[in-house]
Amino acid sequence: MTEEPSLLRPYLMTSGRAQPVDQTLEIEAQVMTSRLGAASHPQLTFERQEIVSLCRTTMSVAEVAAMLGLHIGVARVLVADLAELGYVVVRRPGNHNSHDLGMIERVIRGLEAIH
């Protein structure tokens, strides 16, 4: 018999929120740690520290979720919170990225890793 994943941890990480403060945050949006985020790293909660550390190298929200083993919705909430506080910078997809095959492949790999 396999154990059901705990719903308590994601609930606690997001303070019970299912929607990010920025509900338009795309899973393919690129996230990068800001100077403020790097400087504030020790004061952040564990999950937020992990995201700030990971995003020293730019990656998509989907990649963040995959790398940390988080549900994509939880990753969106946490990344949006960090962006609102200035700890990460989010570059939104636009027409200039729509043909970036490298970015598309990274998002696909990140989504596949979530399963």
Residue 91 CB neighbour total at 10 angstroms: 12
Q: Which residues pair with 89 in a beta bridge?
A: 32
Nearest of 88, 96, 85, 77 to residue 22 by alpha carbon: 77
Does pLDDT of 59 surpass 90? yes
Q: What is the pLDDT of residues 63-109, one digit of tens each?
A: 999 998 888 888 999 999 999 999 999 998 775 555 667 777 777 77
- pLDDT value of position 83: 95
71 in Cβ contact with 18 (< 8 Å): no
How confident is the model over 11-36, as a mean pLDDT?
79
